[in-house]
Amino acid sequence: MSDLLLALGVFAGSFGIGYLLISRVPPQLHTPLMSMTNAISAITILGALLLFSVEMSPGQKAVGALAVVMAIFNVVGGFAITDRMLGMFRERSRKS
């Protein structure tokens, strides 16, 4: 049970830090923010990889493999599309 409490503490702390940091992201970057955090949320791929570290049934393997495909699609696609978008944001000197 103390493990759970510790985990809850980690969650609350990270949520707080995230809230403070992300409040400072300007509206113009909100779409890249979404697609980047999207990719970060696919961190769940670690959970999918861990499934394969122990012996498992074919059914479990299929579930695990599907999870890996979906998550890595999200990771690669999410970061790549964010990079593509951010590459388009350009500042030029303001004309008077």
Partner 1 sequence: MYFIEHLIYLLSALLFVVGLKQLSSPATARRGNLMASFAMLLALVVTLVQYPPITWTWIVSGIILGSLIGAVAARTVKMTAMPEMVGLFNGFGGGASALVAFAEFLHFLKDHTPQASLAEASTIQLGMLIGAVTFSGSLVAFGKLAGWITGNPVTNRFIQTVTALLFVATLGVGVYLVLGEPTLPLFLVFTAGALILGVLLVNAIGGADMPVAISLLNSYSGLAASAAGFILGNNILIIAGALVGASGMILTNLMCKAMNRSLANVMFGGFGVEGATAAAVGAEGKTVRSVDAEGAAMILGYARSVIVVPGYGLAVAQAQHDLKKLCDLLEERGVDVKFAIHPVAGRMPGHMNVLLAEADVPYNKLYDLDEINDMFPDTDVALVVGANDVVNPEARNPKSIIAGMPILDVDKARQVIVMKRSLAPGFAGLDNPLFYLDKTFMFFGSAKPSMQDLVRAVRELS
17: phi then psi, degrees, rounded to nearest 5: -60, -45
Enumerate residues 61-80 that contact partner 1 by CB under 8 A.
61, 63-80
Q: How far is the CB of 62 from partner 1 (least distance, A)?
A: 9
Query: Which residues 6+ apart lie within 8 Å of 68 measured at CB?
Result: 45, 48, 49
Enumerate residues 6-45 that contact partner 1 by CB under 8 A.
7, 10-19, 21-45
The count of chain residues that interact with partner 1, using the rule CB under 8 A, is 87
How far CA 47 is from CA of 50, 59, 63, 65, 67, in Å, comes to: 5, 17, 12, 11, 9
